[in-house]
Amino acid sequence: MAFSQMQKNSAFCFLLCIVIISPQAEAAISCNTVYSKLMPCLSYLMGGSNKSAAPAGCCSGIQSLYTAASTTTDRQGVCSCLKSGAASLGNSIDTSKAATLLSKCGVTVPYKISPDIDCSKVQ
């Protein structure tokens, strides 16, 4: 099943949200760590699940990243990792699921999440 550009953008936004809320201070948390925390979310985001709830492992990873990103540098680093990761996923993400994932996991961020986010402006 092919996904539209909007779906790609939504997937990117989801990953970016996670980056913004997740840790990665000056190389304290690598992109590999960010990706491994979010790995349980991929099957859900790629349409592999018809369930409306996100997998528990996905939410625990999101919450863990959110807690770990305690500084501006952390959040900017996570943002950059997510932006790169989302770009590599292309159209394979269900953007409607991506757009609601953070709230389903009990995480809110004061940023508009989009593929064009300037990670240097993330606080």
pLDDT digits over 77-115, tens only?
A: 888 888 888 778 777 877 778 778 888 899 887 776 666
Burial class (CB in 10 A: 0-12, 13-18, 19+), 29: buried
Q: Is residue 38 part of a domain?
A: yes
pLDDT of residue 60: 95
Q: Is residue 11 part of a domain?
A: yes
Alpha-carbon gap, residue 65 to 34, rounded angstroms: 7
Alpha-carbon gap, residue 40 to 114, rounded angstroms: 22
Q: Is residue 83 part of a domain?
A: yes
Alpha-carbon gap, residue 69 to 73, rounded angstroms: 8
Q: Is residue 114 part of a domain?
A: no
pLDDT of residue 16: 57
pLDDT of residue 11: 63
- Residue 120 reports pLDDT greater than 80: yes
Question: Among 23-27, 56-60, 65-69, 106-110, which is the least confidently predicted range?
Answer: 23-27
Alpha-carbon gap, residue 104 to 33, rounded angstroms: 22
Domain count, the chain: 1
Q: Is residue 121 part of a domain?
A: no
Domain of 33, in residue numbers: 5-104
